[in-house]
Amino acid sequence: MTAMDESAYAEYRRRRVRRLKKIILIVLALAIIIPLVCSIVFLSLFIHTRRELSDLQNRYDELLSSMEQLRDDIAYIDAPRDVYSVSDVTDSQRDASETDLTPDMPEEAAEDEEEHVREVYLTFDDGPSIYTDEILDILAEHEVKATFFVIGKTEDVAVDAYKRIVADGHTLGMHSYSHRYSQVYASKDAFVDDLNKLQEYLYEVTGVWSRYYRFPGGSSNTASTVDMSELIEYLTEQDITYFDWNIVSGDAAGHPISADTIVSNCVSRVANFNEAVILMHDAADKHSTVEALPRIIESIQDMEDTEILPISDDTFPIQHRE
């Protein structure tokens, strides 16, 4: 081997070593980068999937709870009684007592009495629903305030709905967290737990400490295994006023009813009362209520000396039990 051959060989080896080094470096770099990129991709996929899963879980829970509620409602409606009819106590006590008092009143007071403005309270149970916004839009268009007896829902749209109810100046009332008769009325403790859960949740979401309650099925329901007077007593202790109703829109019927029927159910009886509390529902299967609402409001606004108001501390509580 000549000196020339040797130096050429050495050069060849150096180059080979350099190339090998480069290859090793590239392989090393790839060995780090590829798994890193893969982990990032998998991680984001994992997070995304988990989010979707939890969304699905929420929807599943929601469906399950609606199903249970429906089952409760069916069991409840099947029972031989008519919860949503107007009980015998409907003519509010105040109406009766005022009539009694009138003859003894000085003339001026009696005149005041004649000028008494009829108060109508639109109340919506069971919301928020997919229609809450539509209902709120209609109320806003007509510059009317109403009362929403809501249940506990945690999806973003429901949270927004609670907030909008309050922001729009309506009264936020409670209608139990679960709305499952079998749970709410299982025992006094169960009732108290459910009530606290809803009251605290609404406070957290809206900053409003609600003090108005509507019993699921009304105070005259017979689904409760607890004596209703015990629950009423508890509400009184908590400074919570419960409201029933004296006019039914009829939208709680098992079968869908037309907007026309709802309008006439609501409007035809308003004149019978000094305080009319109309029971309606804010629920996914009750769009005819939404369709009926503008006409209900307009008809009532057309009545003389009649005002639509949200429930407040000044509202005489219409209650089915004495």
Residues annotated as catalytic are: 125, 281
By beta-carbon proximity to Zn ion, the closer residue of 118 and 191 is: 191
Is residue 73 a contact point for Zn ion (CB under 5 A)? Answer: no
Cβ nearer to Zn ion, comparing 216 with 250: 216
Beta carbon nearer to Zn ion, 35 or 256: 256
CA separation for the pair 103, 67 (Å, rounded) = 54
Phi/psi at 281 (5° precision): -125, 140
How wide is the angle at C-alpha 304 spanned by C-alphas 301 and 310, nearest 5°?
Answer: 45
- Among residue numbers 166 through 195, which ones bind Zn ion (CB under 5 A)? none
Q: Cβ of residue 123: shortest distance to Zn ion, in angstroms?
A: 11
Q: What is the largest CA-CA distance in the chain?
A: 140
Comparing CB distances to Zn ion, the nearer of 72 and 125 is 125
Residue nearest to Zn ion (CB): 125
* Residue 72 touches Zn ion, criterion: CB under 5 A: no
Q: Is 251 in the site for Zn ion (CB under 5 A)?
A: no
| DSSP, res 68 | H
Nearest residue (CB) to Zn ion, 166 versus 283 = 283
SS3 151: coil
* Residues 76-135 close enough to bind Zn ion by CB under 5 A: 125-126
Residue 198 Cβ, how far from Zn ion at the closest point, in Å? 13
Among residues 92, 151, 99, the alpha carbon closest in space to that of 127 is found at 151
Which range, of 84-92, 209-217, 234-242, 302-310, touches Zn ion by CB under 5 A?
209-217
Give the distance, in angstroms, between the CA of residue 88 and the centroid of all CA atoms in the same chain: 29
Residue 33: CB minimum distance to Zn ion, A: 59
Distance of alpha carbon 183 from alpha carbon 195, whole angstroms = 11
Cα dihedral across residues 100, 104, 110, 113: positive or negative: negative
211-240 residues in contact with Zn ion (CB under 5 A) are 216
* Strand runs labelled E in 68-201: 118-125, 147-150, 171-174
Beta strand 147-150 with 118-125 is parallel
In the complex, the smallest distance separating the C-beta of residue 181 from Zn ion, rounded to whole angstroms, is: 10
Q: Does 244 bind Zn ion (CB under 5 A)?
A: no
Q: Which residues are at the interface with Zn ion (CB under 5 A)? A: 125-126, 216
